[in-house]
Amino acid sequence: MSLGVYKCMKLIPLFLLLLGSTAFAEGDLDLAEVKPTPLALQVGEELEYSLRWSMFKVASGYLRVHPNVVIDGIDCHHVSLRVVSNSFADVFYKVRSEFHSYISVEHQRVVRYRVEQHEGDTHRDATIRFDWENKTANYQRDGEDPQDDVEIGTYTWDPLSVVYYFRHFINGPFEMVTLPATDGKKYLGIDIKYLGQENLEVQLGEFDSYKIEPNTKEMKGVFEKSKNSKIKMWYSNDEHRYPLLIKSKVIVGSFIAELKKVRVIQ
């Protein structure tokens, strides 16, 4: 059991990617050059998730919309994801990680993305800076020289902001859509297939939902050993478009992230 839990904890950093997977593919609609309408973000909204491996709860995840901040002189939305392993999982693989995205209010484009990843013996703090004049993104790990610039599309998202963009974008059935994204090292995308509507019950309650399947071709770690592994996601079919449930069967078992609570922090 300890080996299984350890491998599951190695999946927790992928919670972010499960909310928005990172495999570029041709879809029916590629939004790399499509200007988004303003994001409808509710300041103070926090979504709490229970993360499980099979029957074992191993961590909690928190998606939050913070008050606006100024970054490089630009008024920005500020959204974050925090992942915290519980006392049971801490014995095998302790996780205390945060991801922050800063999005220009005026231009609806990412200005900066910040990673503070503390997992097991790995501590990695890094920043991605977006240069929209030159259409590039730059990854820099703290204390190291910046890596080479990556060319991006006119409207390209980081792995966290794309979650909020997709919540805002989905407004009914579709066949396939490709959302452009970058991790600062590659120009990626999210190829999303629509699977239909379902009535779904999670810890928060019962919802009508949209069911989707993100492409996972470029997933690393445990996922690349699971040739037939697929991710399924459910978004609420209402004005909130909450990410309700994420399921993936991989070589070490089943990974589940389930929406537990919604609160507004004043």
Predicted confidence (pLDDT) at residue 169 exceeds the cutoff of 80? no
pLDDT digits (tens, 9 = 90+) for 31-76: 565 566 667 788 999 999 998 887 888 889 999 999 999 999 999 9
What is the chain's mean pLDDT, rounded?
Answer: 80
* Report field, pTM of the whole predicted structure over 0.75: yes
Token readout for 226 is: 């699971």
Is 50 exceeded by the pLDDT of residue 236?
yes
Averaged pLDDT, 127-151? 93
What ranges do the domains of the chain cover?
A: 2-264
For β-strands 136-141 and 150-151, DSSP reports them as antiparallel
How confident is the model over 86-95, as a mean pLDDT? 87
Spatial neighbors of 39 by CB under 8 A, at least 6 apart, are 77, 103, 108, 164, 165, 168
